[in-house]
Amino acid sequence: MGYLHKGHLSLIKESKKKCDITVVSIFVNPTQFSPTEDFNNYPRNVETDTKLLESNGVDYLFLPSSEEIYPKNFQTFVNVEFVTKILEGEFRPSHFRGVTTVVLILFNCVQPDFAFFGQKDAQQITVIKQMVRDLKLDVKIKSCPIIRETDGLALSSRNVYLSVSERNEALTINQSLELAKKIISSGEKKVSFILSEMDKMFSKVASAKVDYIKIVESDTFEIVDELIKGEDYFVLVACRIGKTRLIDNILVTA
């Protein structure tokens, strides 16, 4: 959705390694925002983004208007069931319908062989992979690692909303994930204990309001209560720091 940072540029780097031609789309998609969310205020800077794309060797920028993506009398949407109902889907009920619809439209416009998405939106990747499988789309979805600041904060276009003090408090998100990783690596399998230890960290942060802290199976995104040795899981956090809603996750092996 633009306002590009090093996380986006890492996706471009992966594309250029694997593909002959790299296309970047920039489109702040209105259908994935609810009426109470920040669509109108979402950070935008197409001029700076364009220069970044040129300097990083991108072949094409696809910059459609809202009228091109959603012309008058538009009435068709894509719904992925089950995995869209939990976590982000619970707190943002119309979000994934907007995501899958616009991603399918972009795929149809560009017709890529590969599409690169960041792991920070891990549930989104799972939803898109489900759509690709179910609708028999001829595109391979590639998940790329989260890019972080040196202090651990996951890069996000919404980080610009944070005040200096809030940005410091936002570090609790990644610190809680690292704590979970440490507890799991020690052999702990009981999810309730892991989550309670993470929650204790947020209780000390005045500006933090946690939407959820969960552990899910890495492939199905099913929420689990007990970890199985050798299996892979996402530990997920969604939290408001002040008025800014941030998400983050870490992939762990029990």
pLDDT of residue 152: 97
Residue 106 lies in a domain: yes
Q: ∠185-207-163 over CA atoms, to 5°?
A: 105
Residue 150 lies in a domain: no
Same domain? For 136 and 243 the reply is no
Same domain? For 188 and 242 the reply is yes
Please give the positions annotated as active site: 8
pLDDT in tens, 118-175: 999 999 999 999 999 999 999 999 999 999 999 999 999 999 999 999 999 999 999 9
pTM equals 0.95
Q: What are phi and psi of 172, to 5 degrees?
A: -60, -30
pLDDT in tens, 12-65: 999 999 999 999 999 999 999 999 899 999 999 999 999 999 999 999 999 999
C-alpha 69/C-alpha 25 separation (Å) is 12
pLDDT of residue 191: 98
| Domain of 97, in residue numbers | 6-144
Query: How many domains are there within the chain?
Result: 2
Distance of CA 164 to the CA centre of its chain: 23
Same domain? For 174 and 132 the reply is no
Q: What is the DSSP letter of 157?
A: G
Q: How many residues does the chain have?
A: 254
From residue 121, give the alpha-carbon distance in Å to each of 6, 7, 143, 211, 225.
15, 12, 10, 15, 22
Same domain? For 86 and 39 the reply is yes
C-alpha 180/C-alpha 178 separation (Å) is 5
Q: What is the CATH number of the domain that holds 240?
A: 3.30.1300.10
pLDDT of residue 29: 97
pLDDT in tens, 173-216: 999 999 999 999 999 999 999 999 999 999 999 999 999 999 99
Same domain? For 54 and 125 the reply is yes
From residue 98, give the alpha-carbon distance in Å to each of 67, 101, 173, 212.
15, 5, 26, 22
| β-sheet bridge partners, residue 117 | 143
C-alpha 129/C-alpha 147 separation (Å) is 21
pLDDT of residue 161: 95
pLDDT of residue 82: 95
Same domain? For 72 and 12 the reply is yes
pLDDT of residue 42: 94
Residue 151 lies in a domain: no
pLDDT of residue 14: 98
pLDDT of residue 225: 97
> DSSP string spanning 35-49?
TTSSTTTS---HHHH
Q: Per residue in 244-254, is it b (16+ CB within 10 Å) or e — as a string?
A: bbbbbbbbbeb
Burial of residue 50, with CB atoms counted within 10 A of its CB: 0-12 exposed, 13-18 middle, 19 or more buried:
middle
From residue 101, give the alpha-carbon distance in Å to each of 37, 39, 167, 209.
19, 17, 33, 30
Q: What are phi and psi of 149, to 5 degrees?
A: -70, 165
Residue 174 lies in a domain: yes
Same domain? For 137 and 184 the reply is no
* Ramachandran category for residue 5: left, alpha or beta (phi over 0 → left; psi -120 to 50 → alpha): beta
pLDDT of residue 13: 98
